[in-house]
Amino acid sequence: MYRLIVDHVKKSFPIFGTLGGIIGFITDILQPIAPFSNYAFMITSIATCILILLIIFMKKTRERIIPSFVFSFSLMIVSSFLLLFMNEEKSDTGVLSAAIPGIGTLQESFGLIEKDIQSIKESVERIEVASQKTAANSEIITDSLQDIRTGFNSLTQSGGIIQTPEKPEQFYHNARIYELSGDYLNARKSYNTYFSFGLNFLDPHLRFQTFLKVQEGREGALEIYSYMYQSNPSMITEFSRTLLFNQTLRLKALKSFTERYPNFAPAYYELSKEFSEIRKGVQSNEDKVNEKKSLNKFQELVTKGNFLKYFVDNELASQWLNDTEVRLRLLNKNIIKDPVRLEANYSNNGWMITLLIAEDSKEIFYKTKNDKDYISTGYESSNSSPMVVLDKTDQLTLQVKYSDVNGQEQGPFIFNLDAKQVITTFMKSILEDGVSKNNWISFRDYQGALLVYFTQLLSNKCALSEIRYGIDTFIPEKNFELMKCDLKNPYSLKEGEMTNIKIPVDSEFISIQVIYSDGTESEVKIYPKKNHMMGF
């Protein structure tokens, strides 16, 4: 019988013995969730004894029982071996985690969300007790929080793990050190213990969230924080949970949060990031305005003392303040106060208006008081200056709006245009141009007489109230007759309009000065005959 049993054991051992050994090692890897090695050893010890008795006394079923016996016996041996090397330090992580560094990382992916939640559950009572104690004496609270800040910064400078942590700053310090050294399991434990104190510091939550997003992803981190908020619905926990929402929901939640907590400075900093170039990719001008508005509010609350009191780590707080300064300097340069401009010209054919949008836009629309709906210019990104041609009217009210890069409609921007003012401004700019100014008049020999033509000035007479000239004198003392400006045909010369004067043939030069319709006077311009003769 003994030989028969041994033969069956040898036959079953390669498969069932190996399987039992593998299960034994798996129980050690799952040690962070529960003491599975202990459970496995106790269960398999009892099962092995029972199976031995069955093998001895039940001959008919012996062959079918032996594989189970081999599996149970192998699992018992592996479990007992692991328990032999188990001590208090390894009881939470297992023997393999201490011997093989990669096992510790692997353990992080097994059920640790549930473990974190359980740790949080165990901490709820401590949080409530801490909150009651905190509410008892506000002066002691202030001193205590300052002591925590001072203590944490001192620990940061000294470095190293605190072997027997007792204070919240010590647990937070250990969490940071464990995290940086790659001991993620102990980092999570230290974070959870720190949160059990129920302190209203923000930066530990921000550090913990960064840690969780790497380990569990954003959804896993949000699951943990959703439970934390249910257990302890404080302002800090609510705000921290909000930061884990998706972009669309996060923006709405942050706006709502600032309405309910208008003096919580960190909310405005985070809100500003939602409009920033980093988040948006391509910013519209409205995004820049909103970003600046949030940052200005953040700075205002900082000066009122509503920022640093939420931070235990001065380094992270300084990063926020420096980032705010840099971004505001850039925004002050880049924000466009008047994103829509236009260049208007009024001619014999009517209004010609070029619309100028100072930022990238998807489409531009306009309408006059006679239009029921807005009219699209058919704008494309390749055409940055669409032109609009409108019928003649002395007074024009033009409304312009556009879609920005986010598809958000901006405007309307309203422009009130006066035909006479536009014409006079435009004509004056032409006359003041250097090339044009050199050709205000011209000389012509005609049938033995010397003529002076004022054609250039007369073509722009709507900008003028008077033309003065002088022959062979630097002081223009004579007036040239001007006809009234006709807004219907501003650039045309009327029938019978005088365009020239006759001067002595031996004249050497003529001096010209114009008085503009706005009352300003030009400089006296000298035109030598030899340089301004018409060529035919």
Domain ranges of the chain: 2-104, 112-334, 340-418, 433-531
Q: Which residues contact 343 (CB under 8 A, 6 or more apart)?
A: 353, 354, 356
Tokens of 73: 């016996």
The structure tokens 């807004």 sit at 487
Spatial CA neighbour of 69 closest among 38, 42, 40, 45: 45
Return the CATH class of domain 433-531. mainly beta
**3-state SS class at 511:** strand
The pLDDT, as a whole number, for residue 528 is 95
Tokens of 383: 């055409």
Q: Which residues contact 264 (CB under 8 A, 6 or more apart)?
A: 235, 239, 257, 258, 301, 306, 310
What distance in Å separates the CA atoms of residue 256 and residue 221, rounded to the nearest whole number? 22
The pLDDT, as a whole number, for residue 382 is 46
Domain 112-334 fold? 1.25.40
pLDDT digits (tens, 9 = 90+) for 105-122: 555 555 444 455 555 555
The pLDDT, as a whole number, for residue 53 is 80
The alpha helices in 399-535, defined as continuous H runs, are: 419-432, 434-437, 455-459
Domains 340-418 and 433-531 share a fold: yes
Write out the chain's pLDDT in tens, 536 residues: 556 556 655 665 677 657 766 776 777 666 666 667 777 778 888 887 887 787 777 777 777 777 777 777 777 787 777 777 665 445 556 666 666 656 655 555 554 444 555 555 554 444 444 444 444 433 434 446 666 766 666 666 666 888 888 888 889 888 989 988 889 899 999 999 999 888 889 999 999 999 999 888 889 999 999 999 998 889 999 999 999 999 889 999 999 999 999 999 999 999 999 999 989 888 999 999 999 999 999 999 999 999 999 998 888 899 999 999 999 999 998 888 888 988 888 887 888 888 888 888 888 999 998 899 999 987 655 445 677 888 878 889 999 999 988 888 998 999 999 988 999 999 999 998 877 888 899 999 998 899 999 999 999 999 999 999 999 999 999 999 999 988 888 888 888 889 999 999 999 999 999 999 999 999 999 999 998 888 65
**3-state SS class at 450:** strand
CA dihedral 340, 345, 349, 352 (to 10 degrees): -20
DSSP 309: G
Helix axes 314-334, 265-274, angle to 10 degrees: 50
Architecture, CATH, for domain 340-418? Sandwich (2.60)
Residue 67: how many CB atoms within 10 A of its CB?
18
Tokens of 501: 């004067």
What distance in Å separates the CA atoms of residue 285 and residue 338, rounded to the nearest whole number? 10
Residue 395: how many CB atoms within 10 A of its CB?
10
The answer to whether the pTM exceeds 0.85 is no
Spatial CA neighbour of 325 closest among 369, 371, 368, 292: 292
